[in-house]
Structure 1
Amino acid sequence: MSETIGFLVHDTARLFRRELNERMRHSGVTALQWRLLAYLARNEGTNQVKLAEFLEVEPITLSRMIDRLAESGMLSRRRDPDDRRAWRLYLEAKSLPLIDELRAAATQLAETAQEGLSTAERAQLAELVERMRQNLSRKPSDIAQSEQAA
């Protein structure tokens, strides 16, 4: 195998996003908006700063996207009770059928992507990729401390 694991993971994720975008094109919601809605479905009440970090977008870009989704009735902003300057984001009922559709499309796509893999191989793949994600999610100070302890 001549490709590095980083290239393979990145390219697979790119192909997955492209196919999911194609399957969801009829919804009129962009891929980045889908990611935002999916994140909120798991982290409702999050603030815009955390969401911008997760989506890896500039705050102004996120603000415009949130404005459009709020105008279309997909989500709402509510004042943060702990910080008058901040807003917390919540899904509205209108977004729930779309999120359900997105989940179903993502599940079907994952099934297609894993065709030919046994149940044990699927479990092992998920475990190994999760371990890689955890390794990369650690802060540099966490990594330095674990290396010093070794």
Structure 2
Amino acid sequence: MNRPDLRSNFAYPLLDVTRLLRKHFDRRAEPLGLTRAQWRAIKVIHRQPGISQKALAELLEMEPIPVGRVIDRLQQAGFVERRADPADRRVWRLHTLDKAHGVLDDMEVIAAGLRDDALAGVNDAELAACIDVLERMKQNLLALEETPSKNS
């Protein structure tokens, strides 16, 4: 395969892989009746019991109002509950309920199967090299947030 300008085109396959992972995950998870946003919210709340809605919105990179709607639906379905923060009446703390644990297990099985399918034919050395490069790119981009831009 001819790759005339790797530096100009590296992001396209990265974006395609991300899009395809989301698409296939959504298809596989459809029978569980949860959106990707709902599953991500349950997963974060499970890992960080008592997280506030504001902190959840930041972690999910979503606006507070849509996150509130996601939480409303999850609460109505019996997956999470809101508890008042004892130190601040304006803050709600989020906790998963027992029903969420089974769904989390199912979603992890789906995610593991998709990872296996996506990585078919990729050996450990190739994967390690890929992860190393992505981590270095991530660090480069994070460093941009800490320094003034060249255009300002």
CA drift of 1:7 comes to: 2.6
Structure 1 runs (4+) deviating above 4 angstroms are none
Measure the CA separation in 1 of the matches of 2:102 and 2:80.
13
Match of 1:65 among 70, 73, 81: 70
Q: What's the secondary structure of 1:116's corresponding residue?
A: coil
Question: What secondary structure is seen at the aligned counterpart in 1 of 2:83?
Answer: strand
Letter in 2 for 1:127: D
Q: RMSD value over aligned CA atoms?
A: 2.2
Distance 1:92 1:52 in 2: 20
Which residue of 90, 93, 114 corresponds with 1:88? 93
Structure 1 partner of 2:55: 50
1:132 Cα offset (Å): 2.8
- Tell me the percent identity: 36
The residue that corresponds to 1:124 in the other structure is 129
State the TM-score, normalizing by the size of structure 2.
0.82
Q: How many pairs does the alignment contain?
A: 144
Q: What is the aligned partner in structure 1 of residue 40 from structure 2? A: 35
Relative to structure 1, the CA distance from residue 46 to residue 118 in structure 2 (aligned partners, 3 Å threshold; closer, same or farther) is same
Tell me which amino acid in the other structure corresponds to 1:4: N
Measured in 2, the distance between the counterparts of 1:138 and 1:73 equals: 41
> Is the aligned partner of 1:112 residue 2:117?
yes
Question: Structure 1-normalised TM-score?
Answer: 0.83
Query: By how many angstroms is 1:41 displaced?
Result: 2.8
Choose which of 79, 85, 89 in structure 1 pairs with 2:84.
79
The separation in 1 between residues aligned to 2:9 and 2:16, in whole angstroms, is: 11
Match of 2:12 in 1: 7
Q: Structure 1 residues 39, 7: CA separation in 2 closer, same or farther (over 3 Å shift)?
A: farther
State which structure, 1 or 2, has the greater radius of gyration over its C-alpha atoms.
Answer: 2
One-letter amino acid of the structure 2 residue matched with residue 18 of structure 1: K
Structure 2 gap ranges (5+): none
